Amino acid sequence: MDEKSSGIKKLFESDKIRKIIIIVGAIGIALIFVSSFTGINTGGKEETGGFSVTTYSTEIESDLQKILSSISGCGETKVLLTIENSVEYVYLEDSTTKTKEIQPVIRGVLVVCEGGDDPVVAQTVTQAVTRALDISSAKVCVTKLTERR
């Protein structure tokens, strides 16, 4: 094993190898630096740098619309979600360490669907929304979608 370690020492003692290692390291650092300016992200998703209530609301509305429209008798469905506040972060006292993240509070959900005038469909939709979002039925309104002419 001494022969291997002495061979490695000799390799790193060479000025040519040192220069190559320094150049490769500098190129790596330069690539990292350039990628931070060009917006290249290795994670596959573009990071927005923060929480967006609009995005959060739109995603929930879209998910609810897809699920509710698949309920028997519901038909075409549109969903509107109202949110009370933005995300809240709880930190340790006198620290920058985040301990908890509190999601926005949902104030109400309006569901407009073709079968909204049927009490059975309205009740089923209300139950689905209240269970999916863990809110009371008083915060859910289901009504009939009118035909546009």
Distance CA 146, CA 95 (A): 54
Q: Give the orientation angle of helix 15-38 with respect to helix 2-13, to 10 degrees.
A: 70
- In this predicted structure, what is the pLDDT of residue 37? 66
- In this predicted structure, what is the pLDDT of residue 50? 58
Q: What angle do CA 64, 70, 74 make, to 5 degrees?
A: 90
- Mean pLDDT (whole number) for 32-50: 55
Distance CA 32, CA 42 (A): 11
User: Are the C-beta atoms of residues 82 and 106 closer than 8 Å to each other?
Assistant: yes
Return the residue matching tokens 């390799």.
11
Confidence of residue 143 (pLDDT cuts 50, 70, 90): very high
DSSP 9: H
Residue 14 has pLDDT above 80, yes or no: no
For the ranges 22-26, 49-53, 54-58, 112-116, the maximum mean pLDDT occurs at 112-116
Average pLDDT, the chain: 80
Confidence of residue 96 (pLDDT cuts 50, 70, 90): confident
Residue 42 has pLDDT above 60, yes or no: no
- In this predicted structure, what is the pLDDT of residue 57? 85
Distance CA 103, CA 105 (A): 7
